[in-house]
Amino acid sequence: MPSVCFYFQVHQPFRLRHYTVFDRSPRYFDEFKNASICRKVANKCYLPSNRLLLDVIRRMEGRFKISYSITGVVLEQFKKYCPEVMSTFDALAETGCVEFIGETYYHSLSFLYSSNEFTAQINKHSELIQQLYGQTPRIFRNTELIYSNDLAETIEKMGRFDAIITEGADHILGDRNSNFVYRPPNCEHLKLLLKNYSLSDDIAFRFSNQGWKEYPLMADKFATWVNRVNGNGQCINLFMDYETFGEHQWEDTGIFSFMSHLPEEVLKHPDNCFMTPSEVVDAYESVDVVDVPHIISWADTERDLSAWLGNAMQSSALHEVYKTEPLIKKTQNEELLADWRRLQTSDHFYYMCTKYFADGDVHKYFNPYESPYDSYINFMNVLGNLKERCDESFGGRSNRMLSKSS
């Protein structure tokens, strides 16, 4: 003890193209933009990171382990735009030191709106992971680590998951810390793995911050922080976006070299080890119940849903998407279903966030739109067209005049 447990989130949405109310085309996604972003991030992050980690895993001869949660929508894009990324993930899977975690295929907020859709998307994702990497996920993480007791219950009922990964938010832990395995209050079997946000953010956010008192962060220093947990913790859950490596923290910050040296430094202490989430779950019993009656997430400082549901546009867009579910499913048209599901990706709603818009922070950096208003207008125009296509598939003609539709 302690076991260091890495989990990396890999995701890219299908970004929409500019779509006005006058557009009639059934093509909603910006192929060019998606391809170029996918290739850019692949070259800066996915490819070098995968190669580096593969190299470290081989060098450590089975003593370094990691896990990934890769969304269905990003896997579709890898396959289409940069297949070489697929082969590096294949190689990682073959080492036996890499675990793949389950989530919703479309990185959606479906848990909040439609339990049918939620389980359907988890199953679709698990099938894809099984098909690609020969593993059926045992651990579940929800989009943006959104979690509550209700979610735990839903996942337990699915019967094939052993644990859920979520945020180790202070207000759910109280005076406890995230370095133990916990359990939800309403589940028999399921365990909880909570993110150690302090150590995770040291790598993901503070690593290159020259104003930080620990700058520059070296692998040996980080290892001493890991050692400090010794005797007072089972696991250190380091959960972060995979894009941390090379994209959020550029190569010249030394992030790759940090990751390359970290395993050796951590393993210098004989009590330390690396584990995948499943191994953590198998190795340790849960020590206590963590009660989360209200929804949490890993976003911003609020750790709530306000980044996706903070204003009237976001809630209207989400409601409208899920209101279309019966209509879409009635058409039994695979193409319409796929388009509709791609619209569920949480990023579309994140772009509509007005919370910090004026301050120009992280929300803006990842936003392909000039403003949250533009993203809402674009999204609603696309959704409007999708509904029309559904109506047309029944042979009906929808009335496009405002007086009828509003």
Partner 1 sequence: MKVFMLGWEFPPFISGGLGTACHGLTKAMNDMGLKVTFVVPKPVDSDFSTHVKMLSPLQCSVPKTSADKAAADELLEWNNVKFHMISSPLEAYTTPQYYEQKIEELLSQRTPLSTQSSDIEPDVERWLRETEQIEHIANEHYGGDMYSEIHRYAASAVRLAIREDFDVIHAHDWMTYPAGIAVASVTGKPLVVHVHSTEFDRSGEHINQMIYDIERRGMHAAQKIIAVSYLTRNIIITRYGVLGEKVEVVYNGVEQNGENRPLTFNKIGIQSDEKIVLFLGRITMQKGPEYFLMAARKVLEEVDNVKFVMAGTGDMMHRVIEMAAQMGIGHKVLFTGFLRGKDVQKIYEMADLYVMPSVSEPFGIAPLEALNHDVPVLISKQSGVAEVLTHVLKVDFWDVNEMANKIIAVLKYPPLQLTLREHGNFEVRRLRWSGAAEKCRKIYQDILVQV
Question: Which residues are near partner 1 by CB under 8 A?
Answer: 20-22, 311-313, 315-317, 354, 357-358, 370-374, 376-377, 380-381, 400-403, 405-406
Q: Which is nearer to partner 1, 23 or 76 (CB)?
A: 23
Closest CA to 292 of 158, 123, 164, 119: 164
Say how far apart CA 387 and CA 391 lie, in whole Å.
6
**Helix or strand (DSSP H, E) at 226:** helix 219-228
**Known catalytic residue: 144?**
yes
Say how far apart CA 162 and CA 155 lie, in whole Å.
9
Burial class of residue 81 in the structure, from the number of CB atoms within 10 Å of its CB (0-12 exposed, 13-18 middle, 19+ buried): middle
Say how far apart CA 328 and CA 326 lie, in whole Å.
6
Q: Which is nearer to partner 1, 19 or 29 (CB)?
A: 19
Structure-token pair, residue 344: 């569920």
Say how far apart CA 255 and CA 246 lie, in whole Å.
7
What's the min distance (Å) between Cβ of 22 and partner 1?
7
Q: Which is nearer to partner 1, 212 or 356 (CB)?
A: 356
Q: Which is nearer to partner 1, 334 or 401 (CB)?
A: 401
What's the min distance (Å) between Cβ of 114 and partner 1?
20
Burial class of residue 28 in the structure, from the number of CB atoms within 10 Å of its CB (0-12 exposed, 13-18 middle, 19+ buried): buried
Q: Which is nearer to partner 1, 287 or 312 (CB)?
A: 312
What's the min distance (Å) between Cβ of 206 and partner 1?
28
Say how far apart CA 101 and CA 110 lie, in whole Å.
18
Q: Which of 99, 117, 144, 247 is catalytic?
A: 144
What's the min distance (Å) between Cβ of 315 and partner 1?
7
What's the min distance (Å) between Cβ of 368 and partner 1?
16
**351-366 b/e (C-beta count within 10 Å ≥ 16 → b):** bbbbbebeeeeebbee
DSSP-H helix ranges across 302-371 = 306-309, 312-323, 325-331, 334-342, 347-350, 362-365
User: Active-site positions?
Assistant: 144
